[in-house]
């Protein structure tokens, strides 16, 4: 799944942070607004860079995830068992074999409603060759949360159905391109290569260090956050196409900000070199 991750390689998230002397009264739910987008054409030798800057504010300052924020509720994904009986919700249950999980082999099976193994679902809702630890936490509706998860890179064994956890990331950005009918449709960078290879989207995590210090004597914070995305795919997938972005952030209490939708743009519109 990560073989072609270089197509959508994500750099860090930089921060432009301006302190104020006053302590503003801000809501605990983060709020964001779009500032600018810039496209840097790096030529044939390096991935191009698409930089997006937003302005943010948050009333209690609980923005940013660190390396310890990887377990529930910040875990990567949920998996689903075909077993009819489970331990109580929240209990640990032994996981015997990958065949217990719902996989692409179960497409079309009675009482199992999963999408076909086609673009973009083969990358956005299936993970190939997962190695899952032998213990999971039982969650409602048959969902299983594994303690350990890695991905094999050798012979394809199973494509396991999963539900991505949006709270694993705190900077969520989606791309939409205008089609020949003049309508916008989402561009999935995960599946631009074609099966069985998968890339990655541009969802990311910014840290508390990226955010900086709090304002005055209040926990409120505000500032500007610049996310730098590097990819060789930008000129091929966006090129002269009209596109727009949807962006939101999530705080550690899982409060989602408002969703920004940018104006229509092309790479030439925002090109800086």
Is the pTM higher than 0.85? no
What is the per-residue pLDDT across 109-160, written as a single tens digit (0 to 9) for each? 888 888 888 877 878 888 776 655 554 555 555 555 554 554 444 444 568 8
Measured distance CA(205)–CA(12) in Å, rounded: 9
3-state SS class at 88: coil
Per-chain mean pLDDT for the chain = 77
Task: Kindly report which listed range (8-17, 28-37, 162-171, 198-207) carries the lowest average pLDDT score.
Answer: 8-17
What is the per-residue pLDDT across 108-118, written as a single tens digit (0 to 9) for each? 988 888 888 88
Tokens 């504010």, located at residue:
57
- Residue 118: the pLDDT is 81
- Residue 7: the pLDDT is 22
16 or 203: which carries more pLDDT confidence? 203
What is the per-residue pLDDT across 86-103, written as a single tens digit (0 to 9) for each? 555 555 555 555 667 788
DSSP code, position 110: T
Q: Which of 92, 98, 60, 107 is nearest to 80 (CA)?
A: 98
- Residue 210: the pLDDT is 78
| Contact (CB, 8 A) for 221 and 58 | yes
Measured distance CA(115)–CA(126) in Å, rounded: 9
Domains in the chain: boundaries: 5-53+60-68+167-254, 77-164
């Amino acid at each position: 799944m990560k073989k072609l991750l270089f197509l959508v390689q994500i750099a860090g998230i930089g921060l432009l942070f301006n302190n104020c002397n006053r302590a503003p009264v801000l809501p605990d739910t983060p709020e964001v607004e779009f500032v600018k987008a810039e496209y840097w054409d790096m030529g044939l030798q390096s991935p191009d860079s698409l930089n997006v800057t937003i302005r943010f504010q948050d009333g209690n300052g609980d923005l940013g995830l660190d390396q310890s924020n990887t377990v529930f509720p910040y875990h990567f994904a949920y998996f689903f068992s075909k077993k009819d009986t489970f331990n109580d919700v929240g209990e640990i249950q032994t996981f015997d074999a990958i065949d217990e999980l719902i996989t692409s082999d179960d497409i079309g099976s009675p009482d199992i409603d999963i999408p076909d193994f086609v673009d973009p679902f083969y990358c956005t809702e299936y993970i190939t060759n997962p190695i899952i630890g032998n213990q999971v936490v039982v969650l409602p509706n048959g969902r299983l949360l594994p303690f350990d998860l890695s991905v094999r890179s050798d012979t394809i064994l199973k494509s396991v159905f999963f539900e991505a956890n949006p709270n694993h990331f705190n900077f969520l950005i989606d791309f939409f391109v205008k089609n020949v009918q003049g309508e916008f449709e989402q561009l999935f960078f995960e599946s631009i290569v074609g099966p069985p290879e998968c890339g990655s989207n541009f969802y990311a995590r910014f840290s508390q260090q990226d955010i900086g210090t709090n304002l005055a004597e209040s926990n409120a914070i505000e500032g500007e956050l610049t996310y730098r995305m590097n990819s060789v795919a930008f000129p091929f997938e966006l090129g002269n196409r009209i596109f727009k972005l949807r962006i939101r952030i999530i705080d550690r209490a899982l409060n989602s900000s408002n969703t920004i939708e940018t104006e229509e743009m092309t790479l030439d519109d925002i090109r800086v070199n």
